[in-house]
Structure 1
Amino acid sequence: MDSNNGNIAWQRSNLTRQDRQLKNRHPSCVLWFTGLPGSGKSTLAFALEQELFARNVSAYVLDGDNIRHGLGRDLGFSADDRKENVRRVGEVSKLFVDAGLFVLAALISPNSSDRRMVREMFEPGDFIEIYVRCSLTECEKRDPKGLYKKARNGQIPNFTGIGANYDVPESPDLVLDTEQQTVPESVAVLIRYLEERNYLTLR
């Protein structure tokens, strides 16, 4: 049903995002990890989730592959379907942020316009775009799921980095170079970024 239908009204809770943040004792936001397949987005997101958990920060990872097992299982990999997948994850992230959680979204999200669309769903400061930088050569060398090999063999059309473009973020909030940094080093950079900007303490 069209969300603009006049018969639909937004039902408001008696609890606010601020109420939930106070209970959790920390702010909420979305960290959006974007990068080529195999760059390390999911690895970093899950490592950060574990570190935040150890610090009593409520966080949850929305992994691109996991999402396609459920929320996005009806979608393919056309430009329109990719856009819709990103939009859906953006909307779910917005709900989680309202619930007072840290959302760690790990998606290739190759198109800059799609990432901008998601950023515009949030208030300033609630969306942190993290570019997980890793060269195509290194990603293809890693090939953790064997997808680059399949793409080179023509088994996966429109595979990002091979048959489809990836728009490198022009001005991400943070860049993590996984060719130069280990996972613990990258997580330390992320924690420092959050601490310096008071994302881990109520403002």
Structure 2
Amino acid sequence: MATLKTLNEPRTPAQVLREARQKDSRDKRARVLSVVDQLIADDEPVTFTGVARAANVSHWLVYAEGVREHIEAARRRQGRAAAGSALADAKEPAGWKLEKQLLRQDNRRLREEVERLKGAVRRSLGQQLDQFGTADLGTRVDELTADNQRLEGELAQAQAHIEALTGQLQEAEDDLAAARTSIRQLIRTENTASTVQ
């Protein structure tokens, strides 16, 4: 029940901004790790600058904790593999080297195309979310306006009721004061009459 209530509570702009930044950070880190894995799969050299450029992230991020270690491990693996493949390259026919180079170029072109398409999808989803958010905010503003008008009406009724009760209280106090005055005069009259007798 508490979870349902939390889901229905409106988020503050600061919370929305913090969540957006956290999501953006997770997306960028995932993109970096994906680029590193792709470079290894394509037998491309893994460098901090190359990864930052291919993932379209800042150099700071590729040196951040949790990302740096992944890149360094990939570089060590490539170093060991390079030593082993030097012997194999000497035995490969020249045509295979050209074929591998063409495949790498194709892979690079396809990766760029995939990134471009991902960017287009991301922008489209962002626009859809922005539109949904605006409509949701409009509905929320309408609800708050209706609540405000209802509360203003209730306040006006309460103030009118208070004024009516204040008038009744004043009349009752006037009646009470008049009754006290009458009782005093009656007592004086009785006292005077009993003194004369």
- TM interval, shorter chain, is under 0.3
Answer 1 or 2: which has greater strand percent. Answer: 1
Question: TM-score, normalised on structure 1?
Answer: 0.26
- Bigger Rg, structure 1 or 2: 2
Answer 1 or 2: which has greater helix percent. Answer: 2
Greater relative contact order (CA < 8 Å, ≥ 6 in sequence): 1
